[in-house]
């Protein structure tokens, strides 16, 4: 890694310097407004107040999937264009995506306790989200096992793309498996469409979550660039100390 | 073509001669199947019902066993560098390696499965169905595992990470393998439906596996 590689990241850093504070403020505002709408939203006639868990659960699930999509695009950027920021973006997105997926799983099982009478059922959606979570952990483990960031980036990029091909197949197989084994237990949100009184707060929360994701992602990318600079500086220092 | 054949023959020889790798996989399979009744109890009716699932899980774990040696051994003795710089496309070279690996570790599992079916009180028809699904499904396990083997080739503690990376990707193969076996025994869907999907999964992994593994090797080792 030479210093010239930092030319682009430097511009990126000054960009995040200007944008991050505004984004964080926008996220706070969006959450404040979103939560006020969620509180004002009526309870579901069947689910009662527990329906409010959905306003966190559903956007978290969307972002959990979105983050893998973002990582896949970044993986293409790493493998095809060798863009210096692509692997930073992919690495920063993985833990955030995993966190949103975990939030989705936890809120889902909290919702399932009063609704299904148990914290966990092998429902098709829950199961495929669990597999997604495991794949996130696998990618993070791969990032952490290889010390050299560029090599780690390429290995993780290949794995991410293979995962992107496999995730729809896994989703399809799990759906098939579930309907084959226990067709009666598949409980869905009642009714084919969501009432606008619930849909509007849901979309507001989705926007707030999206802003939160952007803020966290930019901040994590910034940290990752700093971390790499530190690593390079430490290696330069070590080389100087060794007398080369 | 001759280079590919030579590579294939070399891998077959190594697998057969050094350490009896194929038989160790079968032995592991036998032990997993033997352990299951200790965990579940000796109820023959129960064993017959969960038998296909046990056989599939055992085969899945056994096919993982030798995967970390699939490419790592070539990396250690330097022959991987020769393969990388050779004129043979890397995709075909790793595919030949994976094929040799399947013939020496996957195929023995398929052959052993009917024997283990007796231990689990499976009907002859069920045993046949499990063996057939294993025959169609284990190549997918090897070729998905090939990706993991290529990703973790240069790592010191690659073995465990390989399992963590590969196992989530094998979920569809496991689902349709067991589903096809069960469909042959109890229905309600016809055997052909899940079996056709299992074959499709295998064909897809035959394509995706070598390309992804070759990409991982090219990018990972430069």
- Would you kindly state where each structural domain of chain B is located, as residue ranges? 2-221
For residue B209, report the phi and psi dihedrals to the nearest 5 degrees.
Answer: -55, -60
The domains of chain A are located at 7-181+194-225
Among all residues of chain B, which has the CA nearest to that of A144? B161
Residue of B72, B94, B149, B151 to mutate, interface with A, max A Cβ within 10 Å: B151
How near does any CA of chain B get to the CA of A154, in Å?
A: 6
Nearest to B60 by CA among B120, B140, B148, B118: B140
Tally: H helices and E strands in chain A: 6, 0
Each residue of B69-102: pLDDT tens digit? 788 888 888 888 888 888 888 888 899 989 988 9
B51 has pLDDT over 70? yes
Q: Residues of B numbered 128-167 whose beta carbons fall under 8 angstroms of chain A's beta carbons: which are they?
A: 147, 150-152, 154-155, 157-158, 161, 164-165, 167
Residues 131-150 in A contacting B (C-alpha not used; CB under 8 Å): 131, 134-135, 137-138, 141-142, 145-146
Cα separation, B167 vs A131, in Å, equals: 10
Interface test with A, best of B163, B172, B210 (most A CBs within 10 A): B172
* Alpha-carbon distance A73 to nearest alpha carbon in chain B (angstroms): 16
Name the nearest CA neighbour of B55 among B145, B161, B128: B128
- What is the token pair recorded at A69? 């999509």
Q: What is the pLDDT of residues A60-114, one digit of tens each?
A: 988 999 999 999 999 988 888 888 788 888 899 999 999 999 999 998 888 878 7
Enter the pTM of the model.
Answer: 0.85
- ipTM for the complex shown: 0.84
CB-based contact B172 A155, cutoff 8 Å: no
Residues B141 and B70: beta-carbon distance below 8 Å: no
Candidates A135, A162, A176; nearest CB to B208: A162
């Amino acid at each position: 890694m030479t210093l010239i590689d930092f030319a682009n990241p430097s511009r990126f850093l000054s960009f995040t310097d200007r944008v991050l504070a505004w984004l964080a403020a926008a996220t706070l505002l969006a959450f404040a407004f979103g939560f006020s709408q969620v509180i004002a939203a009526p309870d579901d006639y069947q689910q009662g107040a527990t329906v409010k868990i959905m306003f966190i659960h559903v956007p978290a699930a969307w972002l959990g999937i979105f983050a893998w999509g973002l990582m896949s695009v970044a993986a293409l950027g790493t493998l095809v264009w060798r863009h210096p920021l692509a692997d930073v973006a992919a690495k920063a997105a993985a833990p955030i995506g995993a966190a949103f997926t975990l939030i989705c799983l936890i809120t889902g099982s909290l919702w399932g306790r009063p609704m299904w009478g148990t914290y966990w059922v092998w429902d098709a959606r829950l199961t495929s989200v669990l597999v997604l979570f495991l794949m996130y952990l696998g990618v993070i483990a791969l990032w952490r096992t290889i010390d050299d960031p560029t090599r780690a980036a390429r290995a993780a990029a290949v794995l991410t793309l293979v995962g992107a091909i496999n995730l729809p197949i896994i989703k399809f197989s799990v759906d098939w498996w579930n309907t084959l084994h226990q067709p009666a237990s598949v409980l869905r949100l009642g009714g084919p469409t969501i009432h606008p009184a619930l849909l509007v707060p849901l979309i507001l929360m989705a926007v707030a979550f999206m802003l939160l994701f952007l803020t966290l992602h930019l901040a994590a990318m910034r940290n990752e660039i700093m971390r790499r600079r530190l690593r390079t500086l430490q290696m330069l220092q070590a080389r100087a100390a060794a007398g080369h | 073509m001759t280079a590919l054949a030579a590579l294939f023959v070399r891998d077959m020889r190594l697998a057969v001669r050094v350490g009896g790798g194929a038989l160790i996989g079968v032995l592991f399979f036998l032990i997993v199947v033997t352990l299951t009744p200790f965990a579940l109890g000796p109820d023959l009716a129960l064993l017959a019902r969960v038998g296909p699932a046990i056989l599939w899980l055992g085969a899945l774990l056994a096919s993982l066993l030798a995967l970390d040696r699939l490419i790592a051994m070539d990396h250690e003795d330097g022959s991987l560098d020769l393969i990388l710089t050779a004129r043979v496309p890397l995709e075909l070279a790793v595919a030949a390696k994976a094929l040799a690996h399947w013939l020496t570790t996957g195929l023995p599992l398929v052959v052993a499965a009917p024997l283990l079916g007796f231990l689990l009180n499976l009907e002859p028809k069920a045993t046949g169905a499990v063996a057939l699904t294993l025959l169609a499904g284990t190549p997918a396990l090897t070729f998905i595992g090939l990706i993991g083997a290529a990703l973790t080739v240069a790592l010191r503690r690659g073995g465990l990470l390989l399992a963590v990376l590969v196992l989530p990707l094998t979920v569809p193969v496991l689902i349709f393998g067991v589903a096809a076996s069960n469909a042959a025994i109890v229905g309600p869907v016809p055997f052909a439906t899940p079996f056709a999907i299992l074959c499709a999964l295998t064909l897809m992994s035959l394509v995706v596996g070598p390309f992804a593994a070759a990409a991982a090797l090219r990018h990972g080792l430069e």
